[in-house]
Structure 1
Amino acid sequence: MAMTISTLLQYHQALALGFSQQWQQRQAWQVAGQALLGREVAGWHIERQQQSVGIGCVLERITVTGSQQRSASLAQLNCH
């Protein structure tokens, strides 16, 4: 009985850790999306890169890194 309870507790801890990491990564993607829209989010390091890729087109790449070392990168092509 004790062995079963111990195993279930370890399983529960692993699930909780996985959900926490997934939530943190989801938050990183949301911050990256906000940064592409020009909105700054406190507590996140935001790196912007812009590259001309043709006449009137610019590729903008955003990489964000949070305090939990979660990061996400998004790119957007803007043509005028």
Structure 2
Amino acid sequence: MIPRRNQRGFSLVETLFALLLFSLSIMALMRYQLVLAEGFQQQWQQRSAWRNARQLLQGNPLEGWQAQVQQKDGPEGCPLLIAKTVSPSGRRAELVQLRCPVVGN
């Protein structure tokens, strides 16, 4: 039998190399997706900390959070409220609110 010189297809080495590149690409994309998910999770936790601090200033703290409100004297006798919260995962937020009474004419 005479071997053909114009054979079509890929050799075993080419196929294995392509499979290696494909596997490495998939692994890199999976790692990237994991890093993105962790970033979104941290951002969500920080937003939750700010939201809880706002609710704390409104008098509605969330359960399971460390929360503290301090009141200090502000300018012109207006009370200055400082709300500090710490999430169960350790995210911190602090909001400061100056509450001055509305004076009518």
Shorter-normalised TM range = over 0.9
Residue-pair matches, total: 80
Which whole-Å CA distance do the structure 1 matches of 2:63 and 2:83 have between them? 15
Please give the residue correspondences for 1:55-66 in structure 2 after superposition, counting only pairs within 5 Å: 55-66=76-87
Comparing both structures, which one devotes a greater share of its residues to strand?
1
Please give the residue correspondences for 1:64-75 in structure 2 after superposition, counting only pairs within 5 Å: 64-75=85-96
Does structure 1 conserve the Cα–Cα contact (< 8 Å) formed by 2:85 and 2:94? yes
* Paired position in structure 2 for 1:15: 36
1 or 2 for the larger relative contact order (CA 8 Å, sep ≥6)? Answer: 1
Which shifted more, 47-56 or 23-32? 47-56
Which whole-Å CA distance do the structure 2 matches of 1:36 and 1:66 have between them? 16
Does structure 1 conserve the Cα–Cα contact (< 8 Å) formed by 2:69 and 2:81? yes
Query: CA RMSD of the aligned region, Å?
Result: 1.0
TM-aligned CA deviation for residue 59 of structure 1: 0.6
Normalised TM-score (structure 2): 0.72
Which whole-Å CA distance do the structure 2 matches of 1:56 and 1:79 have between them? 8
Normalised TM-score (structure 1): 0.93
Which structure's CA Rg is the greater one?
2
Question: Structure 2: any 5+ residue segments left out of the alignment?
Answer: 1-21
* Paired position in structure 2 for 1:52: 73
